[in-house]
Amino acid sequence: EVQLVESGGGLVQPGGSLRLSCVASGFTFSVCPMHWVRRAPGGGLESVSAINPNGATTYYANSVKGRFTISRDNSRNTLYLQMGSLRLEDMGVFYCAREGTPGTYDLWGQGTPVTVSS
Amino acid sequence: DVVMTQSPLSLSVIPGQPASISCRSSQGLVFSDGNIYLNWFHQRPGQSPRRLIYKVSNRDSGVPDRFSGSGSGFDFTLKISRVEAEDVGVYYCMQASHWPWTFGQGTKVEIK
């Protein structure tokens, strides 16, 4: 089955860290650019970060630049998001998404929730 | 960042009636390869977003043909020719021609 399965979300204090993982199956992970997308508690969607197929090129939203790091392990079909210096405004559900063809998300995971609270 | 502005932000539709959602971009969306990477997604409560339309007007496999996308320049539209109960949820436009990719605020569709 073609799917993305995220994990690693949870409750963290402001200033804390969290690492999200996304395991891909059913397709050739190593040829696809991959993304993290956040759904904020109010419902808005935000593209957080992206990585090219070999991991050499990464992109970040200004809101997370310097605090989050995207990476991938193609041998494990796994995408990661290391989140640091977490803020209240980082809360939400984080989705892993596949860019199967240029300029679109054609496959989404089920999401993993992140709560930032003291 | 490119700002995507959707309207209306909510719609209440009688089943069988049409619905239309507008999306306006703050910048042109023609990518260097000549394509316009404008997408439409639908998210039902408790579910992940699902792509409906890509590159302005290309409908995903499995998406009913009552859904159609159109537009050019700065203005784009998603139309539902006859709304059905399963169409409830939030619809988002998203541009992927400029990083960061950006979404509209979402349009909540409910059934009367």
- DSSP code of B101? P
Interfacial residues of A (vs B; Cβ cutoff 8 Å): 35, 43-47, 50, 59-62, 95, 101-106, 108-111
Residue B85: φ, ψ to 5°: -60, -35
User: Which of A38, A61, A104 has the alpha carbon at shortest distance from B99?
Assistant: A61
Q: What is the pLDDT of residue A42?
A: 86
Q: State pLDDT tens for residues A52-110.
A: 999 999 999 999 999 999 999 999 999 999 999 999 999 999 999 999 999 999 999 99
Q: What's the sign of the alpha-carbon dihedral B8, B14, B20, B23?
A: positive
Chain A CB contacts of B100 below 8 Å: 46-47, 59-62
pLDDT (0 to 100) of residue B41: 98
Cβ-nearest to B96 among A60, A103, A110: A103
Which chain B residue has its CA at the smallest distance from A110's CA? B48
Q: What is the mean pLDDT of chain A?
A: 97
Question: How distant is the Cα of B34 from the closest Cα of chain A, in angstroms?
Answer: 12
Helix (H) or strand (E) holding A114: strand A112-116
Q: What are B52's two structure tokens?
A: 């409906």
Considering only CB atoms, B37 lies closest to which of A44, A104, A108, namely A104
Give me the residue label for tokens 């939400």.
A92
- CA angle B101/B107/B112 to nearest 5° reads 160
For residue A108, the cross-strand partners are A97
Residue of A47, A95, A106 lying closest to B100 (CB–CB): A47
- Helix segments in chain B, DSSP class H: none
Give the angle A61-A110-A66 at the CA atoms, nearest 5°. Answer: 20
DSSP conformational letter for A99: -
Q: What is the pLDDT of residue B25?
A: 98
Ordered per-residue pLDDT tens for chain B, 112 residues: 999 999 999 999 999 999 999 999 999 999 999 999 999 999 999 999 999 999 999 999 999 999 999 999 999 999 999 999 999 999 999 999 999 999 999 999 999 9
The shortest C-alpha distance from A47 to chain B (Å) reads 6
Per-residue 3-state assignment (H helix, E strand, C coil) for A23-74: EEECCCHHHCCEEEEEECCCCCEEEEEEECCCCCCEEECCCCCCCEEEEEEC
Pick from B57, B56, B89, B92: which is nearest to B74 by CA?
A: B56
| pLDDT number for residue A96 | 98
- Most A-contacting residue of B36, B101, B108, B109 (CB-CB within 10 A), to test interface: B101
Q: Side chain identity at A41, as an amino acid letter?
A: P
pLDDT for res A117: 94
Asked if pLDDT for residue A43 goes beyond 90, the answer is no
